[in-house]
Amino acid sequence: MTKNLLQLSLLTAVLSVGTTVFAASAPANIAVSATVSTTCTITATPLAFGDYDPIGVNATADKTGTGSVTVACAKGAATLTIGMNYGTHVSGTTQRQMVGPTATDLLSYNLFQPTSTTPGAACPGTIAWTMTAPGLLTLEKAPSKNGRTYNVCGTIPMGQDASAGAYTDTVIATLNF
């Protein structure tokens, strides 16, 4: 029994050495921060007019088509505008043209903003889309990070004397933020 008592005393002494007793404590604040950048992206879908019939229906009626641009920005991003240049084959400083089977085969067209700045607003609009005001489409503040899609309204004016063949152009849409 003395042996057990001795072992118990020894065990109690060892356990009491491992216990730390605090006399006081002191707090410290850690500052935590982050910055959400005003970032945005823009993507586009093609504007494919399809067939233009210069001696049939398009002799007396414009050909219309619709493409789109989709904008995604950090929530709350403001002062957003979308501009569009005049394309690769601009005539003078303002007339957009597609080039056809040869470099001299040209088909004029126009791009217009949709009827309002509401995503998905209908075509045709009446404001020509350009890179400067009033041709910039001014967007509402980003309500979320989700993409918003805006129509690009295209028109090929009627009655053009165009050669048969495929016509193309490339327009650059720029998101300013």
pLDDT at 14: 46
In this structure, the strands spanning 137-139 and 80-84 are antiparallel
Domain range summary for the chain, segments of one domain joined by + = 40-176
pLDDT at 3: 53
| Per-residue pLDDT tens digits of the chain, which is 177 residues long | 555 444 545 445 444 555 567 799 999 999 999 999 999 999 999 999 999 999 999 999 999 999 999 999 999 999 999 999 999 999 888 899 999 999 999 999 999 999 999 999 999 889 999 999 999 999 999 999 999 999 999 999 999 999 999 999 999 999 999
Fold classification of 40-176 is Immunoglobulin-like (2.60.40)
pLDDT at 6: 45
- Record the tokens describing residue 83, joined without a space: 């501009």
pLDDT at 124: 87
Cα separation, 138 vs 163, whole angstroms: 38
Cα separation, 102 vs 89, whole angstroms: 13
